[in-house]
Structure formats: C-alpha cells, structure tokens
C-alpha cells in the first residue's frame, strides 16, 4: 500500500484546509498590526507562513497537487521580490524531491510488473529513491548488462489522486490567483487535467523519449538518456549525472547560468523542429548541466529528463508563430492583427485596434529584438505587473484576447521556459535560435541561398572564370 493518500476524503480535507489557512493567517496578520508591529515585517511573516503551508501540503500529497505546484514554480520570477523570497526555497523543494513511498510498495510494483525474479534483472538496485515527482519516483540501479539506469516507478493510485487533486484545486483557483499576478490559475489547472491520462501512460512516455534520444544521439549540446526497458507503471532509462538546474539557479556561476539558458532556449526551439514533439514540462527539476560540451570538459551540455508530457507537432512549431513574431518586430500592426484573427486569438465578435495590439505585444517579445537579451526577475515582474494591473490598457486588452486550444500547451511551455530563464538570470542569444529553428520567422529572401550557376557554382564566380579564360 502506498503512502500516497488515495482516499478522496483525506486528500480533499487537506486541500480544502488551504483556503481556511490563508484566511486564518490574514486574521493573524491583522492582529499583529493592531499590537504595533510594522506592516513590512508582518507581510513577510505572512508570506513565509503561506508558502510553508501551501507547498508543504502540495509536496506531501504528490499527485495533482504536486504537479500544480511544479507548474506554478516556474512563474516564481513574476512575483514581486518582497513576496518571492519566502516562496523560493519552498518552490525549489517541489522541483527536486517529495516524501518517498515505502520500500515494500516499490518492491510490490516491481514484482507485479517485472516478475517475481525482478531483482535478477539488476546487478544493483537502490531502495532509497534518488528523486520523486508528481506521479512516480526514481531509483538508481545497474542493469544486468552493466549500464547505470534510472528506474521510474509509478505510485499506485496516482491517476485517481491526480484528478481528485486538480478538481479540488480548481474549486478555489480564485484564492490561488494572487500567487502569480496577471496569471489566470483555472486554465492552467484545466490544461493539467487534460494531460493526466497521457502522463500516466509510460508507453507514450517511452516512445517520446526514444524519439528524442535517437534524434539527439550525436548532438554536441543536448543529452537525452535512452529507454532501456518499459512496461506498465515502470520505466527504466539510462542514468545521467549532472548539476540539477535548480542548483544552477540558486548557486551557479554566471557562466553556468548563461550556458544553461542558451541550451534551454536551443532545446525549446530545436526540439519540435527535429522530433515533431514539444517537451511540455520545462520545470528545473527536469534538466541537468553535464560537463564535456563542444569546447571540452570545461564546457557544458544540457541533460533532459521526463517526457511524460509532450505536444505532438509534426511540422514543428506552427508557422504562424514565426510569421506573427517577425511582423510584430517589423511593426506591421495590420498584418499581425489579421493573422491573430485568422488563428483565433481574436474572436469574430471582438474588434480591437491593431496599433493597440502591437503596443501590447512589443514589450513581451523584447528578447527577440536584440542579439542577446539578459533575462531577469525584474523584467518578468515588469511584464506581469503591466498585464496584471486592472488599471492598465494592457490588462484590458489581454482580457479580450483568446487562446485557441491548439496553442494552449505551446503558450504554457513558452511562458514556463521564459520563467526559468529569468530565474537563471541568463543572457541568451534567443534571436539566433528563432532564426535557425522557427519556421516563418525569416522572410523568403533571408532563407533563400545565394544564386547558383552551372553545377552549383555561384554566378559571380562563373563570370570571373569566363573573363579569365577570354584573357
């Protein structure tokens, strides 16, 4: 029996206590103010207690509660600094660890799925988990052929817990809204619910990971561990060491931060173009920095884990994204507006000012306007404040825009990745990645090769040779 609380009444009670806790702390804070403590100190204490309770409950419950916490964690950089501080440590814990399930439960799952003699498949198997996530935990081992492996074991009852948690969280999504200003929490929870069955299916995850491992097998920058064995509730892949991205965020050098940021952007845009799949869970716990990049041992590569949630994009990221981005950079307000209407971002019943739409978009795409952009929490907070302030024109316009279902996951992954780049404080040559991988970003003239003459030679070169022959 797993220690994952599976009874709906138990999990519901824990989650339902969260809003009551928020209200209780607000009353406590008011009492502290009445007796003369400063608003600043009381506010910090209130935020710290809220963070501790919220993420303690989410982490203990695993399932959908922890999945929601991990999805929320990448937006931490959007919070005002005085609010973000108390949350940061609690959020990081969610990215890397959670309370483990008992060893007897792990052994029971392995016996059921791999057979009574499952231990003979391993030269070594560590009962203590190396990592834990929302629906399963990972154990380190050595496969019978000598390869070091990661053994991912799904929590019994994970599916029921996942849906139960997310349904309960959606009921008080409004109370969670202030955690990330300018973000609507309810659609995030809805989208997570839509992905539940896919994430529970280790067949699909293995297929997606094999595809990535094959495509990136000889890549100098990206490392994807291959699948060794897979069956229901158990997924065994090659083990990779490295520095967790969360550690780079908290204590990495600027060189490591910049390299991690560049590689993350590279993977975000090159992955769909090369594999037809978008890795859709870009929280820091799923990435590692590994030594031994193109420049030698002192360089770094990016290790990518967890392919349980992917978006299937056979042609790569949709071409209208690249076209709209380029036209926005060029200030083509009318053309951008027409494309947004055609793709469903503006409903037929809505009429907006194209110039106002352009003004709304330009600050958001600032990283694509320059050769290299320094992502920061300050920049992320300024964007969140601009869009989240009900008094601002950006807020009023954003309320009238629509997010078509086909773009929902792409939108969340892009925002999440930008959130991680801001947590890293990385300077990234984002435009390089867009020009190379985003279809439609470059004009036809920019993508066409130089004019070719006979047998592939440049026409200018042919003319020079002809002149020389005549002489």
What confidence score (pLDDT) does residue 463 get? 45
What confidence score (pLDDT) does residue 146 get? 97
∠ CA 468-469-471, rounded to 5°: 65
Domain of 382?
243-440
CB 446, CB 434: distance < 8 Å: no
* CA–CA gap between residue 319 and residue 346 (Å, rounded): 18
Structure tokens that stand for 16 in this block: 């339902």
* CA–CA gap between residue 443 and residue 434 (Å, rounded): 12
Order the strands of the 296-304 sheet from edge to edge: 222-223, 296-304, 287-293, 243-244
Q: Looking at the domain assignment, is residue 149 inside a domain?
A: no
Q: What percent helix, strand, coil does the chain show, rounded to 5?
A: 60, 15, 30
Q: How many Cα atoms are found within 13 Å in the side-chain-facing hemisphere of 82? A: 8
The closest of 24, 78, 89 to 56, measured between CA atoms, is 89
What confidence score (pLDDT) does residue 183 get? 56
* CA–CA gap between residue 217 and residue 93 (Å, rounded): 31
CB 309, CB 198: distance < 8 Å: yes
Q: Looking at the domain assignment, is residue 257 inside a domain?
A: yes
Structure tokens that stand for 156 in this block: 């019994």
Q: Looking at the domain assignment, is residue 283 inside a domain?
A: yes
Q: What predicted TM-score, i.e. pTM, was given to this entire model?
A: 0.77
Tokens 């965020």 belong to residue = 249
CA 128 to chain centre: 27
Q: Looking at the domain assignment, is residue 171 inside a domain?
A: no
Q: Cα-flanking dihedrals φ and ψ of residue 388, to 5°? A: -95, -5
* CA–CA gap between residue 332 and residue 326 (Å, rounded): 9
CA 148 to chain centre: 27
* CA–CA gap between residue 420 and residue 260 (Å, rounded): 10
Q: Looking at the domain assignment, is residue 426 inside a domain?
A: yes
Domain count, the chain: 1
pLDDT by 10s per residue, the chain, length 471? 344 444 444 555 555 555 444 444 333 333 433 433 444 443 445 445 555 566 556 555 555 555 666 666 555 565 555 555 555 555 555 544 456 778 999 999 999 999 999 999 999 999 999 987 667 889 999 999 999 999 999 988 777 777 777 777 776 666 665 555 555 667 767 777 777 777 889 999 999 999 999 999 999 999 999 999 999 999 999 999 999 998 999 999 999 999 999 999 999 999 999 999 999 989 888 999 999 878 777 789 999 999 988 999 999 999 999 999 999 999 999 999 999 999 999 989 999 999 999 999 999 999 999 999 999 999 998 988 888 778 889 988 988 998 887 898 898 899 889 999 999 999 999 999 999 999 999 976 666 654 544 444 444 444 444 444 443
Q: Looking at the domain assignment, is residue 174 inside a domain?
A: no
The answer to whether the Cα torsion of 432, 433, 434, 435 is positive or negative is positive
What confidence score (pLDDT) does residue 302 get? 98
What confidence score (pLDDT) does residue 443 get? 75
Q: Looking at the domain assignment, is residue 363 inside a domain?
A: yes
Q: Cα-flanking dihedrals φ and ψ of residue 130, to 5°? A: -85, -25
Q: Looking at the domain assignment, is residue 210 inside a domain?
A: no
């Amino acid at each position: 029996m797993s220690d994952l609380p599976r009874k709906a009444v138990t999990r519901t009670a824990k989650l339902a206590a969260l809003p009551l806790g928020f209200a209780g702390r607000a009353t406590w804070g008011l009492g502290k103010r009445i007796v003369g403590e400063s608003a600043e100190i009381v506010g910090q204490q209130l935020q710290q207690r809220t963070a501790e309770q919220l993420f303690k409950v989410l982490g203990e419950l695993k399932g959908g509660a922890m999945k929601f916490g991990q999805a929320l964690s990448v937006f931490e950089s959007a919070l005002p600094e005085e609010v973000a501080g108390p949350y940061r440590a609690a959020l990081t814990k969610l990215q890397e660890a959670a309370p483990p399930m008992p060893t007897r439960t792990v052994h029971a799952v392995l016996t059921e799925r791999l057979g009574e003699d499952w231990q003979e498949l391993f030269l070594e198997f560590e009962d203590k988990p190396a990592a834990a996530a929302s629906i399963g935990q990972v154990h380190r081992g050595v496969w019978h052929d000598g390869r070091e492996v990661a053994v991912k074991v799904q929590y019994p009852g994970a599916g029921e817990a996942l849906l139960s948690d997310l349904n309960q969280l959606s009921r008080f999504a409004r109370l969670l809204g202030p955690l990330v200003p300018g973000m609507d929490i309810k659609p995030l929870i809805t989208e997570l619910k839509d992905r539940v069955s896919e994430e529970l299916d280790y067949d699909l995850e293995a297929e997606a990971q094999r595809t990535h491992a094959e495509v990136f097998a000889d890549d100098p920058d990206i490392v994807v561990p291959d699948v060794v064995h897979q069956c229901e509730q158990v997924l065994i892949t090659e083990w990779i060491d490295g520095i967790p991205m969360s550690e780079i965020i908290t204590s990495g050098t600027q060189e490591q931060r910049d390299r991690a940021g560049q590689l993350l952007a590279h993977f975000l845009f090159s992955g769909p173009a090369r594999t037809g799949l978008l890795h859709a869970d870009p929280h820091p716990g799923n990435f590692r920095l590994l030594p031994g990049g193109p420049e030698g041992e002192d360089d770094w590569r990016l290790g990518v884990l967890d392919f349980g949630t992917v978006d299937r994009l056979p042609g790569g990221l949709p071409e209208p994204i690249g076209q709209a981005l380029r036209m926005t950079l060029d200030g083509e307000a009318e053309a951008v507006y027409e494309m947004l209407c055609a793709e469903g971002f503006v409903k037929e019943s809505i009429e907006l000012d194209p110039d106002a739409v352009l003004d709304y978009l330009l600050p958001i795409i600032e990283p694509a306007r320059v050769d290299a952009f320094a992502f920061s929490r300050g920049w992320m907070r300024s964007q969140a404040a601009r869009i989240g302030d009900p008094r601002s024109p950006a807020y009023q316009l954003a309320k009238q825009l629509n997010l078509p279902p086909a773009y929902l996951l792409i939108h969340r992954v892009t925002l999440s990745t930008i959130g991680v780049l801001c947590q890293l404080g990385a300077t990234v040559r984002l435009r390089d990645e867009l020009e190379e991988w985003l279809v439609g970003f470059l004009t036809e003239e920019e993508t066409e090769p130089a004019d070719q003459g006979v047998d592939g030679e440049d026409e200018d070169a042919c003319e020079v040779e002809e002149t020389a022959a005549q002489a």
